[in-house]
Amino acid sequence: MKILVTGAAGFIGSHTAEFFAAEGHEVYGVDNFSTYYSPKLKELNKNDIEAAGVHLVKADLTEDLQKKLPDAFDYIFHFAAQPGISATTSLDEYVRNNIFATQNLLDWTKVACPSLKLFVNIATSSIYGKEATLPETVLPKPISFYGSTKLAAEQLVLGEQRTGKINACSLRLYSVYGPRERPEKLYTKLIKSIYDQTEFPLFEGSEKHSRSFTYVGDIVKGMAAVIGKEQKINGEIINIGSDVEYTTQQGIELIEKIIGLKAKLKITPPRPGDQLRTTALIDKARKLLDYNPETAFEEGLKKQVDWYREKFL
């Protein structure tokens, strides 16, 4: 199969591209190497996935993609987005990178990939709102620019599917962690602060927040499970995550246990738009994709600590 992964130098996209290449597929990745965080970190991912056989193209999805990308893909996995909940990221950036970029990719897809089997949109539990503990059938109530624009991107993709222009589905991911996690995300940031013996900023009250922390390897298995099931999942929205919850405090304590050192916590004001609780209801994923996350939380965190040690210490 010929597969395109957008955002392929990022956290989850790099793991997915690498997995498909290892399975023997012809895999192309595209990434714009945004300065949202240090492009040097994406360069590390780039080296890993190119070593695995992924063809990586540096391009922005708002550009003329006919000049940048090959054509005739069988599957497209669309990870690229303006990520996270950040007070320093403008609405314009979320709209450009999550909405306009998605529509430009769709317009290119309809011309360049006439035999496309499935367009897989990668969405987020942030679409649900303050408490992402709900089935896919509920009315989304996002509370952040990120959640709102990712919902809009999802509907752009499914709108093309509803009008019969492409086969598509949307996978809503829950609190992914593991090797290559972005530097501003919880565990990479925490691990770095412990090894550097610097203060770790903890949003007030967030230690009580609970999450369906899901190991990236289990997420990739969910991605891979769509191959060959395009007729079954065409038009579907599917939660992909773990149905086991842990609090932020429990995660901090596990990292401290694995490393053998205590974190220096500094309480900071609450972050607007943050979710209070997520737990993935994955009955649909189990039924349609035979999806079953298997990695224990502590096991996954140990793999992330090991990765950090290898790359940065």
| Strand ranges, E, within 1-74 | 2-6, 26-31, 55-58
Same domain, 58 and 150: yes
Structural domain boundaries enclosing 140 = 2-174+215-241+279-295
Give the C-alpha distances (Å, rounded to integers) separating 176 from 16, 48, 185, 236. 13, 20, 10, 21
Pick the closest to residue 7 from 143, 149, 182 (CA basis). Answer: 182
Kindly report the CATH number assigned to the domain that includes residue 198. 3.90.25.10
Same domain, 23 and 132: yes
The larger pLDDT score, comparing residue 228 to residue 279, is at: 228
The share of the chain scoring above pLDDT 90, in percent, equals: 88
Domain count, the chain: 2
Same domain, 258 and 145: no
Res 39 pLDDT > 90: no
Same domain, 158 and 201: no
Report pLDDT for 162.
Answer: 98
The larger pLDDT score, comparing residue 174 to residue 275, is at: 174
At residue 247's C-alpha, the angle toward residues 267 and 211, to 5°, is: 110
Q: Does residue 180 lie within any of the structural domains?
A: no
Q: Does residue 82 lie within any of the structural domains?
A: yes
| Amino acid identity, position 137 | T
Same domain, 26 and 72: yes
**CB 28 within 8 Å of CB 53:** no
d(CA 227, CA 94): 29
Report pLDDT for 276.
Answer: 82
Query: What confidence tier does 37 reach under pLDDT thresholds 50, 70, 90?
Result: confident
What value does the mean pLDDT take over residues 288-307? 98
Res 104 pLDDT > 80: yes
Same domain, 93 and 156: yes
Same domain, 192 and 288: no
Query: What confidence tier does 159 reach under pLDDT thresholds 50, 70, 90?
Result: very high
Q: Does residue 179 lie within any of the structural domains?
A: no
Give the C-alpha distances (Å, rounded to integers) separating 109 from 64, 72, 162, 201. 12, 9, 16, 42
Report pLDDT for 107.
Answer: 98
Q: Does residue 116 lie within any of the structural domains?
A: yes
Positions marked active-site: 146
Same domain, 39 and 169: yes
Same domain, 191 and 228: no
Structure tokens at 153: 């991107």
Report pLDDT for 312.
Answer: 94
The 10s digit of each residue's pLDDT in 180-239 is 999 999 999 999 999 999 999 998 888 999 999 999 999 999 999 999 999 999 999 999
What is the average pLDDT score of the chain?
A: 96
Report pLDDT for 249.
Answer: 96
Report pLDDT for 272.
Answer: 78
d(CA 186, CA 97): 23
d(CA 219, CA 178): 10
Same domain, 154 and 201: no
> Could you identify the residue written with the tokens 């509907």?
155
Res 127 pLDDT > 80: yes
Res 86 pLDDT > 80: no
Report pLDDT for 141.
Answer: 96
Pick the closest to residue 260 from 308, 209, 191, 208 (CA basis). Answer: 191
Same domain, 271 and 233: no
At residue 254's C-alpha, the angle toward residues 210 and 85, to 5°, is: 40
Report pLDDT for 38.
Answer: 83
What value does the mean pLDDT take over residues 28-55? 94
Kindly report the CATH number assigned to the domain that includes residue 61. 3.40.50.720
Same domain, 60 and 165: yes
Local structure of 5: helix, strand or coil: strand
* pTM metric for this prediction: 0.96
